[in-house]
């Protein structure tokens, strides 16, 4: 498939892709997906204690900023909820949540390493 810069159909398609990418990072879109993920993760949790530990808050001043707080034991349920919905998300939103998963894994690993090092100190 070749690209013809003078073909308006190709340009229109490219512009539509750019617009849909921008829309996927809209604070309302992200907030909506966070709400879906939070609800799904809570539904997956086996205990009320774990359900109550999962909290997502959108910053009122910086609407692109979200605070995600949860118990370490709730992390796998939150990650599964993200995985279960990635295919439904717009491309940019999917990338955003995949990056969130990377950050959660990194922090979870750092905490586990820190805890392991603390427990082995004499």
Range of the domain at 103: 27-110
Residue 14 has pLDDT above 60, yes or no: yes
Can you tell me the mean pLDDT for 99-121?
A: 81
Domains identified in the chain, total number: 1
Report the chain's mean pLDDT, rounded to a whole number.
Answer: 86
* C-beta separation of 69 from 104 below 8 A: no
The confidence score (pLDDT) of residue 117 equals: 72
Amino acid 40: pLDDT: 97
**Is 64 among the domain residues?**
yes
Residue 86: pLDDT band by 50, 70, 90 thresholds?
very high
The answer to whether residue 33 is domain-embedded is yes
66 or 25: which carries more pLDDT confidence? 66
Q: What is the mean pLDDT of residues 86-105?
A: 94
């Amino acid at each position: 498939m070749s690209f013809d810069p003078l073909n308006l159909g190709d340009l229109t398609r490219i512009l539509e892709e750019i617009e849909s990418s921008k829309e996927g990072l809209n604070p309302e879109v992200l907030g909506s997906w966070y709400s879906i993920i939070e609800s799904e993760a809570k539904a997956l949790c086996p205990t009320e204690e774990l359900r109550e530990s999962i909290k997502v808050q959108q910053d009122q001043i910086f609407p692109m900023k979200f605070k995600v707080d949860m118990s370490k034991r709730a992390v796998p349920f939150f990650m599964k909820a993200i995985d279960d919905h990635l295919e439904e998300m717009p491309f940019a939103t999917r990338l955003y949540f995949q990056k969130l998963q990377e950050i959660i894994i990194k922090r979870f690993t750092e905490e586990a390493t820190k805890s392991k090092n603390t427990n082995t100190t004499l």
